[in-house]
Amino acid sequence: MKKRFYLRQKSNQSMSEFEDLLGMSLIPVVPDPAFINNLQNQLLSQIRSLPAKSKPSTDQIVLFAAAGLLSGTMFLLLGIRSIIMILSALGLLSQYKKSIEKERIPGSQTMV
Amino acid sequence: MRNDLISTGFIKINSRRKWVHSLAELSDEVALTLAAQGDGVAFGVLYERYIGRIYNYIYYRTGNVHDAEDLTARVFVRAMKHIHNYKDRGLPFSAWLYRIAHNLVANWHRDNSRRKEIPLEDAILGWRPHDHPEHEIVQIEDKERLLNVLQTLSPDRQQLLIFKFVEQMSNAEIGQIMGKSEGAVKSLYHRTLLSLRDEYEKMSFGIIN
């Protein structure tokens, strides 16, 4: 029991000493001021050359939404119109077929 | 884009006007909002606030001044380019910068894939002078050995020790940055100390023999 207590105490003590050594080894280093200034200037010049990205205003959002709605409606109307055109073309075709068939039937009767 | 210095006056943040006396009093949140809008001065405030911390972190991860400067510059260039995409997830801004630094250091280690050593002249810096020169040399050697052992640890463990000793952060702050609970940080710290001490003692024993 005493031995275990002694060992634990010794381990804690050595751990504490080790932490002290770490504390003395890992100390903050100060970067070279010239490096800090050069990098700051470099970043500033890069910021100036970057395109400005700002959030769109409410007016812009409304304008974009209206334009989107308008173009959407236009596409919808165009779609409906094209469907009607296809349907009417099909109707015309079927009428044309029917008229041809009607023309053929009297001819065939005369042959008989 | 606004690059003029903000003096005493109102600044507009999220459609609300806020009174500021000087740049120094700008909180990270405000500076971030302004920087994301392309404000160079606000980014400069963040730069001045974090350059030392990021440099220190990279310095202890790479082990030399040249690479520390190079990677620190890359961290801030990358941060500046992507600050518009920054999303506030309730973590401090430093966590985002450390994440960039962590990734760049990992790439650097992968590219170099060689063990770095802390130069002796750097290790001497900040060392308190001692009455006995022999004792001082022994201490410098101990320190150099310790820093070399530190470089063999996993990136997470190195990060933890740097935050703990160089940045003097609390377990809660470290946990916030590393995405761990305070208890997990405490536990990792204890395990890291034990393994570091073992490795250090092995190395010291090897030198003595």
Tell whether B136 is covered by a domain. no
Measured CA to CA, the distance from residue B71 to residue B156 in angstroms comes to: 18
What is the number of domains present in chain B?
A: 1
CB burial string B68-104: b at 16+ within 10 A, e below: bbebbbbbbeebbeebeeeeeeeeebbebbbebbbeb
Task: Name the phi and psi angles at A101, rounded to 5.
Answer: -60, -40
Q: What does the pLDDT look like over B48-104, one tens digit per residue? A: 999 999 999 999 999 889 999 999 999 999 998 888 878 777 788 899 999 999 999
Confidence at residue B2, expressed as pLDDT on a 0 to 100 scale: 44
Tell whether B54 is covered by a domain. yes
CATH number of the domain at B31, please.
1.10.1740.10
Measured CA to CA, the distance from residue B61 to residue B42 in angstroms comes to: 28
Tell whether B2 is covered by a domain. yes
Task: Name the residue facing A29 among B59, B76, B146 (closest C-beta).
Answer: B59
Measured CA to CA, the distance from residue B155 to residue B193 in angstroms comes to: 14
Measured CA to CA, the distance from residue B40 to residue B177 in angstroms comes to: 25
What is the predicted ipTM? 0.71
Tell whether B192 is covered by a domain. no
In which domain, by residue range, is B103 found?
A: 1-116
Say if the Cβ atoms of A29 and B126 lie within 8 Å. yes
Tell whether B186 is covered by a domain. no
Which chain A residues contact residue B162 at CB under 8 A? Answer: 26
Collect the ranges in chain B with pLDDT lower than 50.
1-8, 120-121, 123-124, 126-128
Task: Name the residue facing B161 among A15, A22, A39 (closest C-beta).
Answer: A22
Tell whether B101 is covered by a domain. yes
Cβ atoms of B61 and B17 within 8 Å: the answer is no
pLDDT at residue A4 above 60?
no
Tell whether B60 is covered by a domain. yes
Using the Cβ of B174 and the Cβ atoms of chain A, whether some distance falls under 8 Å is answered with no
Tell whether B139 is covered by a domain. no
Other beta carbons less than 10 A from residue B51's beta carbon: 20
Give the global pTM.
Answer: 0.66
